[in-house]
Amino acid sequence: MRDAAKAPVLKDEDEPPLNRDAMNPVSAETNSTSETTNAHVAAGANAPLEKIALETYVPPAKPSLVGLSRAEIAEQLGAIGVAPAQRKMRVQQLWHWIYVRGAKSFAEMTSISKEMRAQLDQHLTVARPEVVAEQVSNDGTRKWLLRLPSGDSIEKAHEVECVYIPETDRGTLCVSSQVGCTLNCSFCHTGTQRLVRNLTAGEIVGQIMVARDRLNDWAHRVTPTGSRLVTNVVMMGMGEPLYNFEAVRDALLIVADNEGIGISRRRITLSTSGVVPNIIRTGDEIGVMLAISLHAVRDELRNELVPLNRKYPIAELLQACRDYPGSSNARRITFEYVMLKGVNDSLDDAKLLVKMLKGIPAKINLIPFNPWPGTRYECSDWDQIEKFSEYIFNAGYSSPVRTPRGRDILAACGQLKSETEKLSARERQALRAMAMTD
């Protein structure tokens, strides 16, 4: 869900709803290219493909354990003098308190001795990103604006959003992977922004922690069914997750860990604009569901909409999908298609779409374009979306149209942030006061 249209709801029963910014420097392998630039990009046929991060992450003096693997937690414990024989048990206790109980401080961890808690507190934290604003939509959609530290003391702190979309049978959280985005898709608001940095694994896991905090959705919450509110995660917030591969992988492995947050891989969807080399790695190293931002069926048009297509054209992208480990009729790949009036919404496009997906276990999600100030695109007319959808349906694909949610709070990644940036200092303060930071 990028910008307004990034908080949509899937109407397909089997499909988690989908939606759509880092301190680890962008991976040298995937991002080293002479085409990189920091410039604010007007995407188009000649637009640069990729931007480079302006910042690298500067860790706080007291590191947070959130987002660390068990081995990394054990290392931190070693560094503060916890005896080797104790470390495994301590890691287990900490993991449970952090990811099952949602503890926000060591003081709450009553199964750990007072002395040990004091020692932990002296050197470490279980901090997650700070919530600076919370908005609740009429339809129950919630959006949190989170503040992340800047690596540069002169720069103000960065802000990313996280959106929660409740439905009757599930609750989906749309999570960001970068501040800004490496890429510059011409129809996407985030694409027009600079890439500031990759999020750390802790900042990615931290978004799910914040949502569970705000929704009071940890293990102690008593519900008739015992079920959680956040049941699905989609990497569809700000940023291109496959240009922040290691942090996204480490974070999602923690989110899926069944001794912790425990959201199964089938309920986690990673959306990519098509970073081909990392698509296979996603299947091999993370094993989550895949969504591809296709948006065009001809290379010429896709080069304009998704300039990364000049590096990884449609044929290569589809081959990576055919090779995606673990895809099957039960675990189909989602193809996202944003409906742009007079650009990609003809019936010929629909026909070609169906033809090119033959042989790939696929579903298609049509996303009404969510306009933003200054965009040159318009959303397709509703009856055109219906005709397009009908053609796809008749060809045997369920073609849910993802309806944007939380319109009254601009609940689409990118937009709360943009709106907030326009506010006066007083208005910002009022927004902050609104945020519940218990």
# residues near ligand SAH by CB under 6 A = 22
Q: Considering the complex, state which of residue 236 and residue 297 has its C-beta at the smaller distance from ligand SF4.
A: 236
Quote the least distance from Cβ 133 to ligand SAH, whole Å: 21
The interface region with ligand SF4, picked from 158-166, 185-193, 244-252, 398-406 by CB under 6 A, is 185-193
Binding ligand SAH (rule: CB under 6 A), the pick from 370, 380, 389, 399 is 370
Residue 64 in the binding site for ligand SAH (CB under 6 A): no
Residue 76 in the binding site for ligand SF4 (CB under 6 A): no
When computed from its CA atoms, the radius of gyration of the chain, rounded to whole angstroms, is 21
Which of ligand SF4, ligand SAH, none binds 236 (CB below 5-8 Å, type-dependent)?
ligand SAH
Q: Considering the complex, state which of residue 171 and residue 241 has its C-beta at the smaller distance from ligand SF4.
A: 241
Burial of 363-394, coded b for 16+ CB within 10 Å and e otherwise, reads bbbbbbbbbbeebebebbeeebbebbbebbee
**How far, in Å, CA of 271 to CA of 291, rounded?**
4
DSSP state, residue 195: P
Site for ligand SAH in 289-318 (CB under 6 A): 293
Binding ligand SAH (rule: CB under 6 A), the pick from 21, 50, 336, 349 is 336
Q: At what angle do helices 347-356 and 382-394 cross, to 10 degrees?
A: 30
Q: Considering the complex, state which of residue 87 and residue 363 has its C-beta at the smaller distance from ligand SAH.
A: 363
Residue 320 in the binding site for ligand SF4 (CB under 6 A): no
Catalytic residue among 162, 174, 321, 413: 413
Q: Is 181 a catalytic residue?
A: no
Q: Considering the complex, state which of residue 6 and residue 143 has its C-beta at the smaller distance from ligand SAH.
A: 6
Residue 2 in the binding site for ligand SF4 (CB under 6 A): yes
Q: Considering the complex, state which of residue 15 and residue 336 has its C-beta at the smaller distance from ligand SAH.
A: 336
**How far, in Å, CA of 233 to CA of 291, rounded?**
12
Q: Is 55 a catalytic residue?
A: no
Binding ligand SF4 (rule: CB under 6 A), the pick from 24, 31, 198, 293 is 293
Q: At what angle do helices 245-256 and 201-214 cross, to 10 degrees?
A: 40
**How far, in Å, CA of 139 to CA of 407, rounded?**
9
Residues 6+ apart with CB under 8 A from 248: 177, 201, 204, 235, 241, 242, 270, 286
Closest C-alpha to 333, from 275, 302, 293 = 293
Please write down the HEC assignment for all residues of 137-158. Answer: CCCCCEEEEEEECCCCCCCCCE
Binding to ligand SF4 by CB under 6 A, coded x per residue (else -) over 191-220, reads: x-----------------------------
Residue 406 in the binding site for ligand SF4 (CB under 6 A): no
**How far, in Å, CA of 131 to CA of 290, rounded?**
29
Catalytic residue among 55, 159, 161, 203: 161
Residue 175 in the binding site for ligand SF4 (CB under 6 A): no
In order of 129, 161, 318, the CA distances from 94 in angstroms are 19, 27, 42
Which of ligand SF4, ligand SAH, none binds 336 (CB below 5-8 Å, type-dependent)?
ligand SAH
Q: Considering the complex, state which of residue 53 and residue 112 has its C-beta at the smaller distance from ligand SAH.
A: 53
According to DSSP, the residues that pair with 64 across neighbouring strands are: 125
In order of 47, 329, 386, 391, the CA distances from 309 in angstroms are 12, 27, 27, 26
Binding to ligand SF4 by CB under 6 A, coded x per residue (else -) over 7-36, reads: -------------x----------------
Binding ligand SAH (rule: CB under 6 A), the pick from 76, 141, 273, 309 is 273
Residue 5 in the binding site for ligand SAH (CB under 6 A): yes
- Give 364-428 as a DSSP string: EEEEE----TT-S--BPPHHHHHHHHHHHHHTT----B-EE--GGGT-SBTHHHHHHHTS-HHHH
Quote the least distance from Cβ 321 to ligand SF4, whole Å: 17
Which of ligand SF4, ligand SAH, none binds 6 (CB below 5-8 Å, type-dependent)?
ligand SAH
**How far, in Å, CA of 194 to CA of 179, rounded?**
8
Helix, strand, coil % over all residues of the chain, rounded to 5: 35, 15, 50
Residues 6+ apart with CB under 8 A from 427: none
The binding site for ligand SF4 (CB under 6 A) comprises 2, 20, 181, 183-185, 188, 190-191, 239-240, 273, 293
The binding site for ligand SAH (CB under 6 A) comprises 1-3, 5-6, 20, 187-189, 236, 239-240, 271-273, 293, 336, 338, 367, 369-370, 372
Catalytic residues: 161, 413
